[in-house]
Structure 1
Amino acid sequence: MNAFEIIGGKPLKGEIIPQGAKNEALQILSAVLLTEEPMTISNIPDIKDVNKLIDLLAALGVKIDRIDKDTYVFEAKDINIEYFQSSEFREKGGGLRGSIMIVGPLLARFGKAAIPKPGGDKIGRRRLDTHFLGFEKLGAKFVYDASTHFFNVDATELKGNYILLDEASVTGTANIVMAAVLAKGTTTIYNAACEPYLQQLCKMLNRMGAKISGIGSNLLTIEGVQRLGGTSHRMLPDMIEIGSFIGLAAMTGSEITIKDVCFQELGVIPSVFSRLGIQFELRGDDIFIPAQDSYEIDTFIDGSILTISDAPWPGFTPDLLSIILVVATQAKGNVLIHQKMFESRLFFVDKLIDMGAQIILCDPHRATVIGMNKSHSLRGIEMTSPDIRAGVSLLIAALSAKGKSVIHNIEQIERGYQDIEERLRKLGADIKRVDVEPRGH
């Protein structure tokens, strides 16, 4: 089994370029199914989840030409609808949670779709109801086969409708938008997600000929059109990687420059790290983080303990709460981390406690971190990554810790972070890939 062996406690230095946004890629790549014309997509991250989706598109009949390391041309002219019934499709579709994103485009263009219950992180319940309730509002009918865990959806004619989402789901909003762009009439989506990734999708669809207004707000209006054409699109840099690298610099006392971050698309992310006492400056569109011996957590105005929680955009993304929690372990001061969306994402704190961190897990959603102000370094241990974000958080902890750490199940990390081992080594990190059997969790 592959694992990372890390000798921590060494300051890093240099420049790092964030990969293309994973969560944007899963939406944008699915949207190539909406047209038979060529689509040129660039800044695609070379990671497992995205590559699995590209393989799935190829199996569906999409012609794919890789013209550069991060740039592909997709042409979805000849789609094999019968492929839905194959055991191969069940295996490919079931191995990737992002495969749910192909349903909206296929319904819009072909009137039917099927999808096995998708996989992905085990971080608590991640409902698909929002997707299917939205499709139903547009006139689709679906049947869930509990014995095979297969969703079959039929929509011979989609019609625009008023849709009030039960949750501001990013993937749910994106899927419904992609279904609605070719529906007859006007669709209004209220309580829509408005993340930059979704804004990117809507802007690209409009370049293809869609008529979407309200982009960037939680009220989207979509006037259905008869067909969409091709276009070109470049992904944003991954905001989760950018936040991870800010946290890495602080924890390891490193001087790091994060290149080409599209700062205006980062929302509250920089200010949340600032509240932990982390200094940085914007140089052009680069974030420069100086080496800091210590950083102090802010308090609320009345002096009470700071609480950092996740919320739908423009609130703080849940994908960075694990990073915030780890960074807080070496800060001066205390903070309450409140993970509202997923009830299992904080369970990795037992590994941090084993490393010497002072954390009280209040319940599945809340943890109080008592910062040690770098007076006591974390110690290296052997551990296993439970999901993508916790895996990178543990990796950051290991790079700051004294001694050797071994992280198993690094396939989880590699689902979301491209060439992470190589890029960290260029900053001076002592990290290598080893083949070992895990001794425990």
Structure 2
Amino acid sequence: MTDLIVDGGHPVSGTVRPSGNKNAVLPMLCATLLTDEPVTLENVPEISDIDKLLAYFEAMGSVIDRDLGAGRLTIRHDADAFRAGKGELPVGIRAAVLLLAPVLQRNGQLTFDTTAKGCALGVREIDPHLDIIESFGGRILSTLPYEIELGSRAVAADLWPDYASVTATETFAMMAALAKGTSTLTNAASEPHVQALCQMLQAMGAKIDGIGTSRLTIEGIERLGGTIARVPDDHHEVATYLAIGAVTGGRLTVETDMGGHMPLILRQFEKLGLRFEIGEGTITATGWTREITEPYTREMLPKIEAAPWPYFPADLLPQAIGVSVGCKGDILFWNKVYEGALGWSAELLKFGARVHLSDPHRLIVCGGNSLRPATVEAPYIIRVVLALFIAAIQIDGRSTIHQADPIRRAYPHFVEKLTALGAKVRWQ
């Protein structure tokens, strides 16, 4: 693991472009398996998960042409070579759950072992994905290891799952696009990265209605074609850079195509005193009052709630918490998505912040703290490392964030970009 050394108190100013969305590019890459024709992706970020997926594709006979500098990737899957194996999912790829539908569609069968060391699917819940695959006609032949078979073309399904899962919605879309008949998914996830996958499938010929809503209707077709698709900017990264610029007293402009998805996100950060200007294709952080916006109902504590899109994203709640330690007032943070996802907040105490973890979902951050630099331990969670970073960079003096490597999984050239903007930060 690598430590991040942060010398806080220096303004971060200038103009920056965010990377392509990791949560969009991974399902988009997996969806290229649904066609034998070339697919070109633009605005592709440099992240390790992509490297692992591409290595898997190449091992299965796919042809890949990648221009790292241009962020452009063209991929064509050789049908005969890819069908040579049993569709065994790769080890060590966190996005492997997104391969279930396209590998099954392509091979008619797949295998994976959840008991193997380094299993690609890890301990994440796979039941929603298996339920979807069974609904489309897939059969689970065994579980140790898992062997799944799709004897013939998938048959349309009508589904209403327990909750709106991003990856399960993406699995549904990749199964339904080539299924016989019209499929519906009620309680679909609608995050920008889900929309990006659906729009790419549309460009490949899929017939999809309801993109961006909680109900998807997909009329299956027999064959999808190639296309050129752009990976959208990462809206989490947009908000993170804006927060860094604001808390350091800088004026930071982010050039992005995600302005239409940002109003609610910006409004929540404005509750923490951040100020923004919206331009054509730009958002600029212009300042930080440190004042918490008080509700008109004075008996209530100000709060920021995270829930599935179009609510404030759970993946941005840690960054907002990192901002809040420097605010003058008290505020409640409520994670309605993940239980126990706020336990890391005890590390904020080392900076001199006063926080109270009310229960597995709710955290109160008290304002008016006398902050000091500190050495903190980061869990292996990308957004939490960023939260600790945002807390550290607003404090005069040197802080150290141990085990900060997860940033590299989703924020390419993070340190280099910030250094160019005036930040005093380095890897150690």
Normalising by structure 2, what TM-score? 0.93
Distance of 1:299 and 1:57 partners within structure 2: 52
Q: Which residue of 1 aligns with 2:135?
A: 137
In structure 2, the gaps of 5 or more residues are none
- The answer as to whether partners of 2:246 and 2:252 remain within 8 angstroms in 1 is no
- The answer as to whether partners of 1:322 and 1:345 remain within 8 angstroms in 2 is no
- Choose the corresponding residue for 1:242, options 219, 234, 238: 238
With over 3 angstroms needed to count, the CA separation of the structure-2 counterparts of 1:211 and 1:397, relative to structure 1, is same
- The answer as to whether partners of 2:96 and 2:120 remain within 8 angstroms in 1 is no
- The answer as to whether partners of 2:87 and 2:109 remain within 8 angstroms in 1 is no
Matches within 5 A, 1:114-153: 114-117=111-114, 126-143=124-141, 145-146=143-144, 150-153=145-148
**Which one is further off, 327-336 or 398-407?**
398-407
Q: Which residue of 2 aligns with 1:299?
A: 294
Distance of 2:403 and 2:395 partners within structure 1: 19
Q: Give 2:357's aligned amino acid.
A: L
Distance of 1:203 and 1:221 partners within structure 2: 13
Distance of 1:84 and 1:13 partners within structure 2: 52
**Which one is further off, 113-122 or 346-355?**
113-122
Q: Give 1:19's aligned amino acid.
A: S
Distance of 2:42 and 2:251 partners within structure 1: 29
With over 3 angstroms needed to count, the CA separation of the structure-2 counterparts of 1:258 and 1:228, relative to structure 1, is same
Q: Which residue of 1 aligns with 2:225?
A: 229
Distance of 2:189 and 2:242 partners within structure 1: 25
SS of aligned partner of 1:350 = helix
Q: Which residue of 2 aligns with 1:393?
A: 387
With over 3 angstroms needed to count, the CA separation of the structure-2 counterparts of 1:116 and 1:60, relative to structure 1, is farther
Match status 1:80 vs 2:82 = yes
CA drift at 1:198: 1.4
Q: Which residue of 2 aligns with 1:59?
A: 59
Q: Which residue of 2 aligns with 1:284?
A: 280
With over 3 angstroms needed to count, the CA separation of the structure-2 counterparts of 1:281 and 1:115, relative to structure 1, is farther
SS of aligned partner of 1:66 = strand
CA drift at 1:136: 1.0
- The answer as to whether partners of 1:16 and 1:258 remain within 8 angstroms in 2 is yes
CA drift at 1:274: 1.6
- The answer as to whether partners of 1:9 and 1:399 remain within 8 angstroms in 2 is yes
Q: Which residue of 2 aligns with 1:46?
A: 46
CA drift at 1:261: 4.0
Query: 1:370-396 CA deviation, whole Å, 9 max, x = no partner?
Result: 122xx6234232433431110111122
Match status 1:71 vs 2:78 = no
CA drift at 1:19: 0.4
With over 3 angstroms needed to count, the CA separation of the structure-2 counterparts of 1:267 and 1:156, relative to structure 1, is farther
Q: Which residue of 1 aligns with 2:99?
A: 102
CA drift at 1:197: 1.4
CA drift at 1:105: 1.3
Match status 1:111 vs 2:119 = no
Distance of 1:29 and 1:185 partners within structure 2: 25
Matches within 5 A, 1:172-183: 172-183=168-179
With over 3 angstroms needed to count, the CA separation of the structure-2 counterparts of 1:344 and 1:55, relative to structure 1, is farther
Q: Which residue of 2 aligns with 1:438?
A: none
With over 3 angstroms needed to count, the CA separation of the structure-2 counterparts of 1:216 and 1:328, relative to structure 1, is same
CA drift at 1:154: 1.1
Q: Which residue of 1 aligns with 2:258?
A: 262
Q: Which residue of 2 aligns with 1:214?
A: 210
CA drift at 1:166: 1.6
SS of aligned partner of 2:284 = strand
Distance of 1:120 and 1:83 partners within structure 2: 17
- The answer as to whether partners of 2:21 and 2:232 remain within 8 angstroms in 1 is yes
Match status 1:358 vs 2:354 = yes
SS of aligned partner of 1:268 = helix
Distance of 1:258 and 1:67 partners within structure 2: 24
In structure 1, the gaps of 5 or more residues are 435-441
SS of aligned partner of 1:188 = strand
Distance of 1:119 and 1:321 partners within structure 2: 29
With over 3 angstroms needed to count, the CA separation of the structure-2 counterparts of 1:85 and 1:185, relative to structure 1, is closer
With over 3 angstroms needed to count, the CA separation of the structure-2 counterparts of 1:324 and 1:181, relative to structure 1, is same
Q: How many residue pairs are counted as aligned between the two chains? A: 421
- The answer as to whether partners of 1:254 and 1:290 remain within 8 angstroms in 2 is yes
With over 3 angstroms needed to count, the CA separation of the structure-2 counterparts of 1:218 and 1:52, relative to structure 1, is same
SS of aligned partner of 1:291 = strand
With over 3 angstroms needed to count, the CA separation of the structure-2 counterparts of 1:145 and 1:378, relative to structure 1, is farther
Query: 1:343-369 CA deviation, whole Å, 9 max, x = no partner?
Result: 232122111111111111112221101
SS of aligned partner of 1:44 = coil
**Which one is further off, 233-242 or 264-273?**
264-273
How high is the sequence identity, in percent, across the aligned residues?
A: 34
Q: Which residue of 1 aligns with 2:371?
A: 377
Query: 1:234-253 CA deviation, whole Å, 9 max, x = no partner?
Result: 01110110111122123222
SS of aligned partner of 2:58 = helix
- The answer as to whether partners of 2:242 and 2:284 remain within 8 angstroms in 1 is no
- Choose the corresponding residue for 2:404, options 396, 402, 410: 410
